[in-house]
Amino acid sequence: MSTASDLKSEIAQLKLEAEAAPKQRKPRSSRKAKPADTAPQEASVDEMQAQTGELQELVDKLTDLVEDAETEIKERPVTMVLGAFALGVVVGALLRR
């Protein structure tokens, strides 16, 4: 077990190391980074419109999928619950391995 004198000497050593650390560090450069000469290329208006169109198409497809799922669940709720249970059993069996 450490004694009080051991702890005091260790603390003194740590203080000396802490005082010496700033002297050993390299001074930071006072120069700031220069901004890049070339600005990044911005997407053209046509590309933005095409991406917006594709995104809207994806949103429409996902909305249709959710609506179809809601309709199926409303028509056959027991079948859907049993299907979800069966899927859970299969996934659980696969993850157990």
Residue 40 lies inside a defined structural domain of this protein: no
Residue 38 DSSP label: S
pLDDT in tens, 57-67: 999 999 999 99
Residue 66 lies inside a defined structural domain of this protein: yes
> Locate tokens 């911005």: which residue?
42
**pTM score of the predicted model:** 0.42
pLDDT in tens, 24-78: 666 666 666 655 544 445 557 888 888 888 999 999 999 999 999 999 999 999 9
Domain residue limits at 70: 46-97
Give me 51's structure tokens.
């991406």
Residue 80 lies inside a defined structural domain of this protein: yes
- Per DSSP, the three-state class of 52 is helix
Residue 97 lies inside a defined structural domain of this protein: yes
